[in-house]
Amino acid sequence: MKQIIYLAALVIIIYGCNTQEGKVPPGNEVILGIFGGMGPEATADLYRQILEVTSAEKDQEHIPTLIFSNPVVPDRMESIADGGNLIKPYLRFSVRKLESAGASFIAIPCNTVHYFYDYMQAAVNIPIIHMIRETANEVAGNYPGIKKVGLLATTGTIESGLYNKELEANGFEVLTPVDSIEINLVMKAVYGIKSKTDPQLNEDLLAMAGQHLADLGAEVIVLGCTEIPLAYNPDRVNLPVVNATRVLAERAVEIYREMKDGDE
């Protein structure tokens, strides 16, 4: 008898859920999806930046957001080296998880993983913001008179040529740290940020790397790794900075408004 009651209750629940399909509550017509976890601190920073960028006086004026933090995604630099064989199933699963959960578009706070942007975009039917392209456009829009852009990023991002492609298309020369600086300063700081070890040392390392780019002739510095803004102090290097995480946050808010206005 109890089994019959439980079965009847289950049928009622399923029927009730099915009858509600397609009925989206007002205000939830457009939802931002964030594919994060690469790393978790950078994901939290993006969401904080989105909150800062959003013009809201009450909770209901903020952006409905789904965050899927998937920190088990394999190392992005190693994945580029192996052609993506190991990482691709994680990327496909993650973006599809957000789409199936109801996301209208996706932001990914990890520069290096944009090496696989085309693969991820092909896996879903909703747009994914191209973080690196948007950052290059931001540099072009705000600094049209400069010629040399310094790039602080992971070795994988630099070697992939992702920023070079987008920035050079806008007429800029891209300056990157020499190998010894990249390994001993930038990457050491990135992994230090991820492991939450010695914040002051991480800041010092990135300040030296930033000054190195200034000495090479950079006129603006792009922070092209989502960990780097967590420790980079712009007051220690006399150059303007373009923070890719901030650019992604601003573009996410813009796209949300555009989609929302289009649905009204």
Task: Cite the active site residues.
Answer: 110, 225
- Distance between CA atoms of 193 and 199, rounded to whole angstroms? 7
- Distance between CA atoms of 213 and 209, rounded to whole angstroms? 7
**Measured CA distances, 5 to 8, 10, 89 (Å):** 5, 9, 41
C-beta separation of 176 from 182 below 8 A:
yes
CB atoms within 10 A of CB 111: 32
C-beta separation of 256 from 63 below 8 A:
yes
221 strand-pairing partners: 150, 241
